[in-house]
Amino acid sequence: MEIKDFLRDICEAPGVSGYEHNVAKIVNAAFLDYADEVRQDRLGNVVFYKKGTGENRPRILLAAHMDEIGLMVTKVEEGGFLRFSAVGGIDPRTIVGQEVILYGKEALPGVIGVKPPHLTAGEDLTKAHSMEDLHIDVALPEERVKKLVSVGDLAVIRREMIDLAGNSVAAKAMDDRAGIAVLLTCLQELERLQHKADVFAVATVQEEVGVRGAATATYGVVPDIGIAVDVTHGEMPGVPEHETSKLGKGPALTLGPNIHPKVGNELINIAKEYKIPYQLEVSPAPTGTDARAIQVTRGGIPTGLVSIPLRYMHTSVELLDLEDVKLSGRLLAYFIAAVDAAFLEGLKCS
């Protein structure tokens, strides 16, 4: 499957944290041809196993999360208007006036409404909206809404992926469905490479609410090395250059205490060897990614982090360059092909 088409399918599917089953079905169908075994754990992580060659095979975990931020109904108000709260990190400023699909007893289209400026007092016009100011309007009578919608039902922003100039695309849930696309690219590349390591490519759940899936997946796989794949902030107006990475210039490779130095350096060495463009990113604290959970699972896992530059994170128009997705997958495949028992032994000497 073409990576762009795959990314479109998974980004447009609903998959709020804790409710990722629709996305998992698409991922499962796309990955089956490249895995020797597939299993799903009790939390919902989907684990794709690709066997290495020989004996004493290293075990490498690749993790990218398939959940997205979303909305959850908290109250059906008079008139059928729906109050809601956020699942994951939603900035209320970004959802005013958005279209949504609400998943009650049936899928309902709706909009997030707010009081128009004509009816807003002057001093309130300069204030940012809070979640309490907003509601979902499905334009149905209250009685009908109460039959179809319950407290706890979910809603996601309605957005189709759009093509922009060059290799750029924008969609909701690129964080981190783009990482899932990197895993698929990696498995496709591995089809033509020899690798001693056993590979466990995991589509994890519930990253946006506390990296929970990565913790249980790592505990179950017990890898020798873990690499998280996620997005990072792309360059954009108003943000200092040193806090971002450039789109179309390759993956960002993280250095810092969350990253095992030999894993981080080997990713850099592989990128140089195969002339894969890359960028460096530093994180002096635990990263806000699955790498945070992988590193401290069981007795500790040597961990790396590969990130795709992305603009407008946690909005419905997350924007990236597809070339960065492909380069990230290629880098991971060559890294895996280079890992052997001697490399694992070197990790113990740090």
Q: What is the set of active-site residues?
A: 207
Residue where the block lists tokens 């931020």? 69
In angstroms, rounded to a whole number, what is the distance separating the alpha carbons of residues 75 and 64? 33
Does 314 show up as a binding residue in the annotation? yes
Does 68 show up as a binding residue in the annotation? no
In angstroms, rounded to a whole number, what is the distance separating the alpha carbons of residues 39 and 20? 15
- Return contacts of 53-58, CB within 8 angstroms, 24+ apart: 53/194, 53/195, 53/196, 54/196, 56/341, 57/196, 57/197, 57/198, 58/196, 58/197, 58/198, 58/224, 58/225, 58/339, 58/340, 58/341, 58/343, 58/344
CA 126 to chain centre: 33
- Asked if 317 and 241 count as a contact pair (C-beta separation under 8 A), the reply is no
Q: How far is CA 39 from CA 14, 46, 47, 182, 284, in A?
A: 21, 6, 5, 20, 35
Does 195 show up as a binding residue in the annotation? no
Q: Residue 266 carries which side chain, given as an amino acid letter? A: E
- Asked if 50 and 191 count as a contact pair (C-beta separation under 8 A), the reply is no
Q: Give the DSSP H or E segment for 324.
A: helix 322-338
Residue 148 burial (10 A CB sphere; 0-12, 13-18, 19+): middle
In angstroms, rounded to a whole number, what is the distance separating the alpha carbons of residues 333 and 182? 10
CA 312 to chain centre: 14
In angstroms, rounded to a whole number, what is the distance separating the alpha carbons of residues 235 and 324? 14
- Asked if 326 and 185 count as a contact pair (C-beta separation under 8 A), the reply is yes
Annotated binding site for Zn(2+): 65, 175, 208, 230, 314
Annotated binding site: 65, 175, 208, 230, 314
